[in-house]
Amino acid sequence: MSESQQIKVVDAFDLDDELRSLLKPGEMVRDAQGRRKRLPRYFYEIPTHDSAKQIRLAPHFGLNEFILVDLKEAQRLQQFPRYIPCAVRLLAFFLEQFRSAAGASVHVAVNGGYRSPSHKMSGSASSHMWGTAADIYRIGSNIVKTKELIDKYNDLAEELSDDVTILPYGHDTGTSVDDHVHIDLGYVTVIPREISEDRMEVPQESRPRFAFEERRRRDRRAAQTAAAAAENK
Ligand SMILES: [Zn+2]
């Protein structure tokens, strides 16, 4: 097993000043209805572009697919190591189910995965800032920009679970969509089991708070055991 498949989890309060000011861990933002939401605090740290491509969050979804951004994202957040809220794995799981239901490959748009609170498209709280929403612009060979296709795939997405919400077809940015399907799990934050939570919402310079996510599936554990055995030879 290559080292890059070990995903490092960090407490964003321990990142440097610039990163903290851009990721805003634990800060409150209001949604379009004025309800307050607390931004995520625990992030996967992705060291390189190669590791982003190698790390699979679900059988058909690599981590790299959720960090596609353009110049609308803060410049520092376009550089590696990059950070993405740990809840993105749940999103990948639902997209995998969605892919099965659609019977075709599912493509996340640029700026359609994680968008930091400093991203130019981040206004009021949106699930993209939690890593729990994806904008799908193409399914199989279909570019999703007609009412017929958006209605069809919205129905499929909503049938997956009551936890999934979508935006209806329409031309009002923010409340409807006309060139993608917005699949949304809501404001879900994940505290990885390997992390020890700290009630201090300040940097802990003397004591870095991070962990490496353990492989849970049996095949991955087996690979890890084999790698460890090889190292010990
Ligand atoms: Zn969206």
| pLDDT band at residue 199 under the 50/70/90 scheme | confident
- CA 116/CA 96 separation, integer angstroms: 23
Nearest to 85 by CA among 56, 63, 101, 107: 63
Cα(6) to ligand 1 centroid in Å equals 29
Contacts 24+ apart (CB under 8 A), 27-30: 27/117, 29/117, 29/124, 29/125, 29/129, 30/124, 30/125
Cα(94) to ligand 1 centroid in Å equals 15
Cα(122) to ligand 1 centroid in Å equals 10
Looking at residues 110-116, what average pLDDT do you find? 98
Cα(173) to ligand 1 centroid in Å equals 10
Query: How many Cβ atoms sit within 10 Å of the Cβ of residue 97?
Result: 16
Looking at residues 174-202, what average pLDDT do you find? 90
Cα(180) to ligand 1 centroid in Å equals 8
Sheet of strand 210-212, all strands in order from the earlier edge strand to the far edge: 82-85, 42-46, 8-11, 210-212
Cα(67) to ligand 1 centroid in Å equals 14
| pLDDT band at residue 94 under the 50/70/90 scheme | very high
Cα(18) to ligand 1 centroid in Å equals 26
Task: Say what the pTM is.
Answer: 0.88
Cα(135) to ligand 1 centroid in Å equals 5
Q: List Cα–Cα distances, 214 to 8, 195, 210, 211, 218, in angstroms.
A: 10, 11, 13, 9, 11
Cα(82) to ligand 1 centroid in Å equals 20
Cβ–Cβ under 8 Å, residues 110 and 69: yes
Cα(218) to ligand 1 centroid in Å equals 34
- CA 212/CA 192 separation, integer angstroms: 9
Cross-strand partners of 139: 106, 142
- CA 177/CA 135 separation, integer angstroms: 10
Cα(233) to ligand 1 centroid in Å equals 49
What is the number of alpha carbons within 13 Å of residue 50 lying toward its C-beta? 3
Nearest to 53 by CA among 43, 65, 44, 45: 65
Cα(228) to ligand 1 centroid in Å equals 41
User: pLDDT tens-digit profile of 9-42?
Assistant: 999 999 999 999 999 999 999 999 999 999 999 9
